[in-house]
């Protein structure tokens, strides 16, 4: 089955700097890659996603890049703000089996 | 449009007991997926229901079972509870099986097994 690895497990950045979180996946058939943000005690919320026919997607301060050959994808957050502090999860899904496999999470702390 | 809701919010059980968790899907959604999230870990896929049929299952034993009702709400049942079953149980609803449809998560049920 699919295995998703996520790094780093914790990340601290100064407010205004950029943050990058990286994930690798094992199943070459995976073709959908969402990123979720989970604040303490709250539900995961989708912040951005990318499909395998696209190499990069951007939404304001958030961008995701995908390298299908290397089987890795990354989340980039620019101009970080205190409200970006949360745990971020990457995930991968194969349209054929609908099973969403999550990474282990990255705890992002923005230092004011 | 109402969001995904789950009940109860918290639950405490003892080893060997059985538990039923409930999920109401978002209006217009016909697919419900269940996940187990242990402390400090990412959610682990348990199974998915689409139009009242199980459509995929993760690496969980048969004592984890589920149902989906005609109104697309869903239940997760766990028999013979073990200490390791202590976790946050999340359900997520989406529309259809086109793949890559956004899954909207509920607030979760925190289960503690003593």
pLDDT tens digits, chain A, 112 residues: what are they?
Answer: 889 999 999 999 999 999 999 999 999 989 999 999 999 989 999 999 999 888 999 999 999 999 999 999 999 999 999 999 999 999 999 877 778 899 999 999 999 9
- The yes-or-no verdict on residue B1 having pLDDT over 70 is no
Q: What is the mean pLDDT of chain B?
A: 93
Q: Strand, helix or coil at B84?
A: helix
Measure the CA–CA gap between B60 and A62, rounded to whole angstroms.
34
Is A96 in Cβ contact with B99 (below 8 Å)? yes
Measure the CA–CA gap between B111 and B108, rounded to whole angstroms.
9
Nearest chain B residue to A10, by CA? B40
- How many Å separate Cα B87 from the centre of its chain? 12
pLDDT of amino acid B95: 87
More confident residue, B18 or A94: B18
**By mean pLDDT, which of A5-19, B44-58, B71-85 is the weakest?**
B44-58
pLDDT of amino acid A94: 81
Interface check A10 vs B, CB under 8 A = no
Is A99 in Cβ contact with B99 (below 8 Å)? no
Locate B69 and state its tokens: 């009702």
pLDDT of amino acid B48: 93
- CB contacts < 8 A, A to B, total 63
Closest CA to A2 of A88, A106, A95: A95
| Chain B residues whose beta carbon lies within 8 Å of the beta carbon of residue A31 | 99-100
Q: Which of residues 45-104 of B touch A (CB under 8 A)?
A: 45, 48, 50, 55-56, 58-59, 90, 97-100, 102-104
Exposed, middle or buried by CB within 10 Å (0-12, 13-18, 19+), for A86? buried
Measure the CA–CA gap between B91 and B85, rounded to whole angstroms.
16
């Amino acid at each position: 089955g699919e295995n998703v690895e996520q790094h780093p497990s914790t990340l601290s950045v100064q407010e205004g700097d950029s943050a990058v979180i990286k994930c690798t996946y094992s199943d070459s058939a995976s073709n959908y890659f969402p990123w979720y943000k989970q604040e303490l005690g709250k539900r995961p919320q989708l912040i951005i996603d990318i499909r395998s026919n696209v190499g990069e997607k951007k939404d304001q301060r958030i961008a995701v890049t995908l390298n299908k050959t290397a089987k890795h994808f990354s989340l980039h957050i620019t101009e970080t703000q205190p409200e970006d502090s949360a745990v971020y999860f990457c995930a991968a899904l194969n349209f054929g089996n609908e099973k969403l496999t999550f990474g282990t999470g990255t705890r992002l702390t923005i230092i004011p | 449009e109402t969001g995904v809701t789950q009940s109860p919010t918290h639950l405490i059980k003892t080893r060997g007991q059985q538990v039923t968790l409930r999920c109401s899907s978002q209006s217009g959604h016909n697919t419900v997926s269940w996940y187990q999230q242990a402390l400090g870990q990412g959610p682990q896929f348990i199974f998915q229901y689409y139009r009242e049929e199980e459509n995929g299952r993760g690496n969980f034993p048969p004592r984890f079972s589920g149902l989906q009702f005609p109104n697309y709400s869903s239940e997760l049942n766990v028999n013979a509870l073990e200490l390791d079953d202590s976790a946050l149980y999340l359900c997520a609803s989406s529309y259809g099986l086109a793949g890559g449809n956004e899954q909207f998560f509920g607030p979760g049920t925190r289960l503690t097994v003593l």
